[in-house]
Structure formats: C-alpha cells, structure tokens
Amino acid sequence: MSVGDIDVEATWLGSGDQLGDDLEAYPLGSFLLLEVSLDTHSGDLGSVDLVEAAKLNTGAGPLEPEAWVASSDESHHRSGVLVFPRRYLVPPLKLNVALEDGVAELVWEELPKV
C-alpha cells in the first residue's frame, strides 16, 4: 500500500519464521510480531516514530505497540518489527500507520498463526 511517496508493507511473523536475538523478549505466545517496511525515493523516513505512528485496531478495540525493533533505519528505507500484546484479538485486524501524507491501513481478516 502507498501513502503519498511512501510504500508500506507488513507481514506477521510466526513460529516458522527465524526470529533474531533482538526479539527473544517477545515470545509468540504472548506477543504479535509484525514485520513492517517503509520505502520512499524522496523525503526522510527517520522522523517517523513507529511506536507513536502505529495502532492495531481489532474487533475488540485498539492496541498500541509495546516496541519497535528496528532492522534498518536508513532515511529512505526503514524496516523492523512492531510488537503488540497478544490479547483481546477479534478479527479483522487493521494496522494503521499515520504518515505525513495520510494513514496507511493494512487489513487481515484472520488472526495470525503462532
């Protein structure tokens, strides 16, 4: 999905994914891990605070991320993992990321697998 000049992608991480040492504090049974990437060819993504900009809306209400574990903080490419508590999850799940030119919304109709 694109918002202005920024491409936003997100993928749930599960037990079949290789999780790095930086994510050991967030076991999949207690947390939802969402790998997010932001790409642009203009502007500086360094000003985007992903913990402040992201919200996960569920059928049971909104969840704020507990952490952002960055894997790349380049000015034109940011990637990492948003960490959400695994509670009160009722589909659909909608990740909203507030950016300067609007809000990116990514939707999943089913709960991610552990």
Residue 98 lies in a domain: yes
Domain range for 43 is 2-108
Residue 113 lies in a domain: no
User: How confident is residue 101, by pLDDT bands cut at 50, 70 and 90?
Assistant: confident
Quickly list DSSP for 11-75: EEE-TTS---GGGTTS-TTTEEEEEEEEEESSS-GGG--HHHHEEEEETTEEE--SEEEEEEE-S
CATH number reported for the structural domain that contains residue 56 in this entry? 2.60.40.1150
Residue 66 lies in a domain: yes
In the chain, the number of structural domains is: 1
Task: Report the predicted TM-score, pTM, of the whole model to 2 decimal places.
Answer: 0.89
Mean pLDDT along residues 71-96: 87
Residue 114 lies in a domain: no
Is 88 a residue whose pLDDT tops 80? no
Residue 89 lies in a domain: yes
Each residue of 5-55: pLDDT tens digit? 889 999 999 888 888 899 999 999 899 999 999 988 777 667 788 999 999
